[in-house]
Structure 1
Amino acid sequence: MSETPTAVSAPPPPAPGAEEYLALAFANSAVALPGGHFMDFLGTPEAANRWLTEHGLAPADAGVREMCAAQLRSLREHLRSLLAARVEGLPALPSALAAVNDALSKAPTAALLYWDEKNGPYRAAPCPTDQILGRALATLAANAADLLTGPDADRLTRCGSAPCNRYLLRHGRRHWCSTRCGDRARAARAYARRTRGQEDSSAQRDSSAQADSQEKD
């Protein structure tokens, strides 16, 4: 099935857990929609810059370029691979683990020494413009690691309403990321029941007709 990019002006509501874990919001930044369409909030440098800004990971004037947006999209796919492995109980792909660990290593490990004219020396973590992406990647990777290794990992699941591809933290028996997906899943089940009932009735009529024909013979 082909996928057609869709305008990103009307994002769906956050999936359950996405406001608690930035990594979930990041993984869900590409959304599959009915009809073979999808929304990618990292699809262009401008969109990626906007997403980072909205989530407190970069200033509005960061000037994200395509190379940076591509790195974000790559990390997102590796993270989705790890989420899928956790949900399905499968081994993680080594390449996905390596990508997340590489992103984690981009975080500064030591505060640098600065000197204020009035207050004298002090230490603070560096944040030059060329490290904005590295900090964003490290923050997202660290949050993903916290999710996958923490107690909430047992609640992690994928939306049960096809074709939606978003992940969420399950509350009770709910397996849908939004009311819209829940309504679509219920409608699909109702349609399947009606179709199955019609097929059963048709088969029963055919069987009765065949039995009547045999009795006449």
Structure 2
Amino acid sequence: MSKNPLPPAPGADEHVSLALVNGAVTLPGGHRADELGTPEEATGWLVSHGLVPARTTLLSYCQNQLTELRGGLRALFTAHVEGKAPPEPALDGINRALTKVPSARLLRHEPDEGFRRAPVHPVTQLVEHAMAQIAEDAAALLTGDEAARIARCEAPPCDRFLLRTHARRQWCSTRCGDRVRAARAYARKQQGRAFA
């Protein structure tokens, strides 16, 4: 596993579903960076996104569930960008994540805090709760006003998704844009030499 060296793609800071999908990326040279490569890394990812408490420790089973959710989300975002119907297993997986834990914030009363609303779930459901939050974010993104702005980075081999900040935005980062521009300049230079 190698840490993702790229900055967050536009929209990934606001949408945890984009951040999860972009947690695995193909880098130049065909290298793969995966922020969920081990249970410890998956735990760190969830903690860093405020989805589980810092004291959480994931097992391989939980890491695999999160990785499976990421695959389903990638399939949904890909289908959306390509204007195709999503694969049924991916859609079913996201719907399972949405409904696996209760999402209602229950009314509680604490002697020192008074009334408050909070989701209630046992510690054993931390990952399921986190996955439900991620799936909810994806569902809201894919059906909301920002859906038309979802795009895939056009800098091969990068396979990250982003929210376009303007209509001409094609790349997820300056690094990807610079790499494409450098490749184009090199191709023009080589083409010029061929005609000389």
- The match for 2:28 among 34, 40, 48 is 34
Tell me whether 1:18 sits opposite 2:12 in the alignment: yes
Corresponding residue of 1:167: 161
Letter in 1 for 2:13: E
Taking the TM superposition and a 5 Å limit, the aligned residue runs for 1:92-107 are: 92-107=86-101
Instruction: Output the CA distance in 1 between the equivalents of 2:149 and 2:117.
Output: 40
Deviation at 1:62, TM superposition (A): 1.0
Deviation digits for residues 16-56 of structure 1 (CA, Å, limit 9, x no counterpart): 11112111111100021111211111110000000000000
Secondary structure (helix, strand or coil) at the match of 2:185 reads helix
Instruction: Output the CA distance in 2 between the equivalents of 1:154 and 1:90.
Output: 14
The verdict on how the C-alpha distance between 1:131 and 1:86 changes in structure 2, with shifts beyond 3 A counting, is: same
Deviation at 1:75, TM superposition (A): 0.6
RMSD: 2.2
Tell me whether 1:195 sits opposite 2:194 in the alignment: no
Corresponding residue of 2:148: 154
Corresponding residue of 1:208: none
Corresponding residue of 2:138: 144
Instruction: Output the CA distance in 2 between the equivalents of 1:50 and 1:146.
Output: 25
Instruction: Output the CA distance in 2 between the equivalents of 1:171 and 1:113.
Output: 39
- TM-score, normalised to structure 2's length? 0.90
Structure 2: stretches of 5+ with no match in the other structure: none
Greater Rg by CA: 1
Letter in 2 for 1:29: G
Secondary structure (helix, strand or coil) at the match of 1:171 reads coil
Letter in 2 for 1:170: R
Letter in 1 for 2:180: A
The verdict on how the C-alpha distance between 1:123 and 1:189 changes in structure 2, with shifts beyond 3 A counting, is: closer
- The match for 1:72 among 66, 70, 90 is 66
Deviation at 1:123, TM superposition (A): 6.8
How many pairs does the alignment contain? 195
Deviation digits for residues 86-113 of structure 1 (CA, Å, limit 9, x no counterpart): 1011111001100000000023144567
Tell me whether 1:182 sits opposite 2:151 in the alignment: no
Deviation at 1:121, TM superposition (A): 9.1
Instruction: Output the CA distance in 2 between the equivalents of 1:87 and 1:31.
Output: 17
Shifted more, 94-103 versus 171-180: the winner is 171-180
Instruction: Output the CA distance in 1 between the equivalents of 2:101 and 2:8.
Output: 27
The verdict on how the C-alpha distance between 1:111 and 1:190 changes in structure 2, with shifts beyond 3 A counting, is: closer
